[in-house]
Amino acid sequence: MLGYSEACERNKAVILQQLQTLLSGHKRVLEIGSGSGQHACFFAPQLGHLRWQPTEMEQMLPVLQANLQQYGNDNIAPAIALDMMQSQSFESRFDALYTANTLHIMPWQAVEAGFAQMPGWLQPGALLVVYGPVKYNGKFTTASNARFDLWLKQRDPRSGVRDFEALDRLAAEAGFEFVEDISMPANNQLLLWRLK
């Protein structure tokens, strides 16, 4: 698989276990920042009742498309370009949005712009599922997450582990209500909000 991610390989089973319950009544899932498509290719066959819409930044799209062609499933829609920073619209709305390990990579302005657009992408009542590391009130959950934050910022000063409170504020401003914070292995969280 092009752009294979070891982290993705390690976390996919535990995330799927949660999604099987969380998305049992859902039909159309929009994924932001699908990367190599490893999650989409692993989840979709085991969530056969729904249609999975992968997306990526324009420059990463060829890798994602090539992997989907080789390892995809028939309930995965063709991948499309989506940058949270850019204005985006869809012909019909999704009832869930999933994103993994993206909000600490993209610039904060992209996180803000993306959250502000989400109500236009989703149906009322849609579930927002965010996987990744977060801080709480500015404090890292572990020393390894603090080191990861430093490493991210050395790579790109605009990246960094986000504060849960800042994400929750953006979500509330966009019309979401917080549902649950599920602790996952390797100091990650699965954060859930529902669009009112």
27/155 with CB nearer ligand SAM: 155
Spell out the long-range contacts of 72-77 with Cβ–Cβ below 8 A and sequence spacing 24 or more: 72/37, 72/40, 72/41, 72/44, 73/41, 73/44, 73/45, 75/44, 75/45, 75/47, 75/48, 75/50, 75/51, 76/40, 76/41, 76/44, 76/51, 76/52, 77/51, 77/52, 77/53
Q: Using the rule CB under 6 A, is 32 a contact of ligand SAM? A: yes
In 3-state terms, the chain is what percent helix, strand and coil (to 5)? 40, 30, 35
Q: Using the rule CB under 6 A, is 95 a contact of ligand SAM? A: no
Q: Using the rule CB under 6 A, is 130 a contact of ligand SAM? A: no
Q: Using the rule CB under 6 A, is 190 a contact of ligand SAM? A: no
140/148 with CB nearer ligand SAM: 148
CB of 195 to ligand SAM, least distance (A): 19
The piece of 21-29, 33-41, 69-77, 185-193 that touches ligand SAM (CB under 6 A) is 33-41
Q: Using the rule CB under 6 A, is 33 a contact of ligand SAM? A: yes
47/84 with CB nearer ligand SAM: 84
What is the token pair recorded at 18? 């949660």
Q: Using the rule CB under 6 A, is 60 a contact of ligand SAM? A: yes
Cα(88)–Cα(85) distance, integer angstroms: 9
Q: Where are the alpha helices (DSSP H) in the chain?
A: 6-22, 38-43, 61-71, 108-121, 143-155, 164-173
Which of residues 100, 127, 128, 129 is near ligand SAM by CB under 6 A? 100
Which of residues 106, 127, 129, 130 is near ligand SAM by CB under 6 A? 106
- List residues near ligand SAM by CB under 6 A: 5, 8, 32-35, 39, 56-57, 60, 82-85, 100-102, 105-106, 110
